Amino acid sequence: MDAVTLSRLQFALTVAFHYIFVPLSIGLGAIMVIVEAMYLKTRLKVYENMARFWTRIFAVTFAMGVASGIVMEFQFGTNWATYSRFVGDVFGSALAAEGIFAFFLESGFLAVLVFGWDRVSPRVHFFATLMVCLGSIFSAVWIIVANSWQQTPAGFHIVEHMGEQRAEITNFWEVVFNPSSVNRLTHTVIGAFLLGAFFVMSVCAYYILKNRHVDGAKRSFTIALVFATVMAIAQLLTGHSSARQVAFTQPAKLAAFEGLFKTPEGGAPLYLFGHPDSVREEVRFGVQIPKALSILVHGDPNKPVTGLDKFKPEDRPPVAITFHSYHIMVGLGMLFIAVTLYASFLRWRGTLFEKRWLMWFFVFAVALPYIANQLGWIAAEVGRQPWVVYGLLRTADAVSKSVSASEVAASIVMFSVIYILLFIIWIYVMNDKIQHGPDEVPEAPEKTEVKELLGTAAEIKSPASLENA
């Protein structure tokens, strides 16, 4: 393989590994906020126990996310030097904003979140939890803004410096609110929320099946289920909005999503499944809904959608990977809606936790949002090829000229070994914490009970009560 292909594989490897931890941190952060809010509202010890437990899980995942993310930034300067010079002004601004708005919140309140349970009041601790949760979301905001600018560049002009072209910001807010940033942000963050909710349901379903920590597990499961149900439905809406935006700003990507090789004269079909054959330029074994794609994109069954034939062969993205990643992601999204609505119905009837087969499903279902998140990222990134910055800089032109293929291959081997070790450690630590479970702290006596005891004691001591006895 050449240096370009190996550099792309290395970047895919590091991002995919990093993306194991980031969405889980964001999703768990949101669940922690809800569980701790329930503790503040009810003062039931069981909510505090579960909040402390999810905080320990969050801390381990957060640490792994930070460690695995550092490697990616090094790659920009090593394997992608031409790219770094071209987008340095834009990317530098986004990363600086992440440091100011996100990392400050996370680093400032993380210690209080993890170690402050018995040192600050419950309200102060809840504030720290909320700030860490917001910090993780803000971090995602700026990374997605930077990535979205590569998909739909805006608010810049091209200047030449020392014989090389680079993008300079002319309007910061146009960069932030480029045509795809809001749609991609909402879709990505909701995907992270879904992963966090399914992770919580997985652990809780395991406890329920093993008859351990049952009260806390049922309460956490219910919170995560309601959250997941709302997010699954919201994800359908953001997915539709994002796909429509792609149709207008990156039509070649949408054509690859849908396997639309030729622009139809009338309405375009929507393929439910099939296999795109780029040689024959057709979808084999495909099952389609006639004119459905035109309805979803234009709201008009007879309005054509741009196909791949409108682009030069060298400007078309790889179709098969994009098509299958996109369709599996959409299929999983529909499954999330169906299963969460069904489980919510059973919870409303009070029979959910008696369905052992469904509990076992939720134990293993945590893998599904992981797959959906990874495939969504693959569809988005492969779909914009051959451009690293859409319409401006090709991926093949962005790689460092001074790094050889053998050097990149050696670093891939090194990263793979390190990542395997880190992943084994993460699984071991997470399993240890889940097997240990939340610490069961008994409920403190209620003040009213103390008053009643004192009152009863006073009555017993009074002469009148003794005479009556």
How far is the C-alpha of 330 from the C-alpha of 311, rounded, in Å?
25
Encode burial over 14-51: b for 16+ CB neighbours within 10 A, e otherwise.
Answer: bbebbbbbbbbbbbbbbbbbbbbbbbeeeeeebbbbbb
pTM to 2 decimals? 0.89
Q: Report CA dihedral (176, 180, 184, 186) to the nearest 10 degrees.
A: 70
- Residues paired with residue 348 on neighbouring β-strands, in sequence order: none
Q: Give me the tens of pLDDT residue by residue for the chain, a chain 469 residues long.
A: 788 889 899 988 998 998 899 999 999 999 999 999 999 999 899 999 999 999 999 999 988 888 887 777 777 778 888 888 888 888 888 877 777 777 777 778 888 888 888 888 999 999 999 999 998 898 888 889 989 999 999 998 998 877 788 889 899 899 999 999 999 999 999 999 999 999 999 999 999 999 999 999 999 999 999 999 999 999 999 999 999 999 999 999 999 999 999 998 888 999 998 999 988 899 999 899 999 999 999 999 999 999 999 999 999 999 999 999 999 999 999 999 999 999 999 999 999 999 999 999 999 999 999 999 999 999 999 999 999 999 899 999 888 888 888 888 998 999 899 889 999 999 999 999 999 988 876 655 544 444 444 444 455 444 444 444 3
Q: What is the DSSP letter of 80?
A: -
Per the rule left: phi > 0, alpha: psi between -120 and 50, beta: everything else, 414 is alpha
